[in-house]
Structure formats: C-alpha cells, structure tokens
Amino acid sequence: MNEQSIFIVRCGEVALKGMNKPYFERMLVERIKKNVKQFAGVDVRRHEGLIYVRADKSIDREQLLKQIGKVFGVASISPAVEAPSNLDAIGEEAVKYMLDLIETKGIKTFKVEAKRADKNFPVKSPEIGRIIGAKVLIGCKVLKVDVHNPDVHLFVDVRHDKSYIYQQKIAGFGGLPLGTNGKGMVLLSGGIDSPVAAWMMAKRGMLIEAVHFHSYPYTSQRAQEKVEDLARIVASYCGNFKMHVINLLPIQEQIVQNCPEEETTILVRRFMMRIAEKIAEKNGGMMLITGENLGQVASQTAEALVVTDACVKMPVMRPLIAMDKVDIMDKAEEIGTFETSIQPYEDCCTVFLPKHPSTKPKLDRIIESESKLDVDQLVEAAVASEEIVQIRQN
C-alpha cells in the first residue's frame, strides 16, 4: 500500500457551473482545508476536475472522512490507492488492494468497472476492466467474478499520470461551497426548526450569522446556553459566526400593556423581524432566514406570514416552509441538533403566550395596534443593547 492515505473528493453540483466552475472548485478546496486543519500533514489539491486529499496514515481515517464529509459542495468521497498509469502497475496495486479486503472483510466475489479519463491512454475502458479483472483472478485465487451482486465493486480510474483504485463512494451532503452565495441572518431559537433552516441555507453556499431573542429573567441563562450549544453544532458545518443576543422582554411588556392579547404573538414576531433586519443591515446580511413551517403554529399560517413579512424590506427565506415535521426532525437527527433541541428549556416565544392567538391577522388592524407603541424607539433600543457571542465550531 502507499505511504499516504488518499481520498478522492467529487464536487457534484459544482461540476455544473460552466465558466464559473474553477471559482467554485477553489472555494471548495479552501473549505476542505479549513475543515481538516486540525490534522497535521494533510494536503488538499484539485486536479482534472477532482479534489485529492492526501494524509499521513497515522491520522484517524474515520475522523478525517467525517470532517471532509461535512463540507458543503462535497458530493462523495472515495478512499483510494494510487498507481502509475500503466496496466501492470494498476494490476499489481489492484491485487494488493483485493488481498487486503479478502483478509479483513472475507470477500469472495468482485466486479471491475474501469473509467479512462485520459483518452490518450491506448486501452479503452471495457478492455481495462477485463485486463485488471484477469490480473485480480490470477493474484487472488479465492475470488470469483460476479457482475450482478458482487461483494466488492472495484473501480479503476485511469488518468494521465496516475490511476486510482477504490471500492467506496461515501456520500457527502452536496450543495455549494460556503461563501459562494452571500450572507443571511438566521433567527435562531432553541427549537428543532431554526438550526435546520440555518444548515439548509448554508448548504446552498450562504454564510450565516444569527440573532437570538430571550426574555430574561423569564427565560434562564441555561436556555441561552442551549442555543449556543445548537449554534456550535451548526458551526461545525458552517464555520465560525457571530450570534447577536437580544433581550426582547421590554418590547413584550409594552405589547402586553398596550395591545390586544390575541395579537401578541404576531406583534412580537414583527418586532423580531425588524430587529433582525437592522442587525443584518449592519453586518452585511442580504436576507433573513427563519425556521417557519406553513401552518405549524398560530404565527405560521399563510395570513400571519404575510403580515409578518410586511414589516421588513429584506427577503425572508423559509427553507422548511413545505416540509413535514417528521422530515424536519429526521434532518435534525442527521446533522446532530435534535437531542439538544428537545432539551426542555423555555423559549421567549412562550412568554406572555395568549390563550387564543390570532391565526388570521389583518395587516391594517396590526398596524393600528402598533400605532400605540413607539416602534422605532423600541427597535433601536433593542439593537443598541445587543450582546455578541462568538460561535466557534467544535
């Protein structure tokens, strides 16, 4: 075997970017480098449409694979071995590779699939597969060919100077590299939905920052720590970011004292959006991101969402809007936020919750209720009192 571990990283959707493809590939390489910088002796380079990660064999392979797989834009990863691009050398490495699998996995059948990326190579792909298959049969007497249901699907990728042998294509998350699609401000709570929404927008290449609202002392310090824990999990995919923390209690108290009870939820939500927009404008955000899901609660009916959006000029992204709750929970489990999200700590949205919240608010009536408040002053005071927490990936 080679002295280094080699991983072939495929770009997926990035490969469809036409004239912009080199830019996206460079961004992807930089993101992979950032995610694996904790490991010493790792080299990341792109060549001929693929990205190659080379690492010292002393590095924990599974941990390295995990970190590469978290990078948005990575479609799949293949641990591979390398050989010079001639059939004898490829065959020799293929035999060594299969002997190792016989010893460690007890495999008995295989199938070879060859790809000739270098069209100047004198032997065509089907013939490469037959030749390498024959060499494996000679070198590994216990193996048989099974083209329908083999224990190992052996891939041979022949390129100009080097060729690669592998059996796995480990799926990544796909998407686009972070930083290729602007920045958004996510309204991050301690629930299940908003961390997933942040993750999904980051998967499309968007950098994120977060704003979190609390109602201290009605909400506890531990509730905020829970949100910080969630943010760090998100940061393990999205990189470090700022979380702007706002105490919403003064605004909630003004609403409860001056406005109809049934409108409390929608009025509080509109203030959240205004504050988030102000913070986004100051920090280079292009849009707001929420975890709202159509019809899930009173503030997420179609009518309520329209009224909510009317108070801001920025576009509001709701990546979960049409997902079933079960699907959102499954995604939260997949990315590792679910167990933290279900910890039973209070949220600012549960403070002063009306018994019968309005599910079909009218914009003119909401504006009339807000006229009893000094909206601009309340928003400016909230923004001025923000605390900033630096979220760093684990």
Q: Are 186 and 198 a contacting pair, CB within 8 Å?
A: yes
Please state, in angstroms and rounded to a whole number, the distance separating the CA atoms of residues 64 and 42: 9
DSSP state of 180: S
Please state, in angstroms and rounded to a whole number, the distance separating the CA atoms of residues 169 and 47: 18
Strands of 224-369 (E only): list them: 241-247, 287-289, 316-317
143 is in an annotated binding site: no
The 3-class secondary structure across 21-81, one letter per residue, is HHHHHHHHHHHHHHHCCCCCCEEEEEECCEEEEEEECCCCHHHHHHHHHCCCCCCEEEEEE
Q: At CA 86, angle to CA 85 and CA 91, rounded to 5? A: 105
**Residue 183: alpha-carbon gap to chain centroid:** 14
191 is in an annotated binding site: no
SS3 106: coil
267 is in an annotated binding site: no
291 is in an annotated binding site: yes
Residue 267 corresponds to which tokens in the numbers above?
């009025």
Q: Which of 169, 146, 121, 159 is nearest to 7 (CA)?
A: 169
212 is in an annotated binding site: yes
Q: At CA 386, angle to CA 383 and CA 387, rounded to 5? A: 165
Which phi and psi angles does 330 have, rounded to 5°?
-60, -40
213 is in an annotated binding site: yes
159 is in an annotated binding site: no
Q: Are 346 and 222 a contacting pair, CB within 8 Å?
A: no
Please give the span between the terminal C-alpha atoms of the chain, in angstroms, as a whole number: 33
Q: Which residues are annotated as a binding site?
A: 187-188, 212-213, 269, 291, 300
Q: Which residues are annotated as a binding site for ATP?
A: 187-188, 212-213, 269, 291, 300
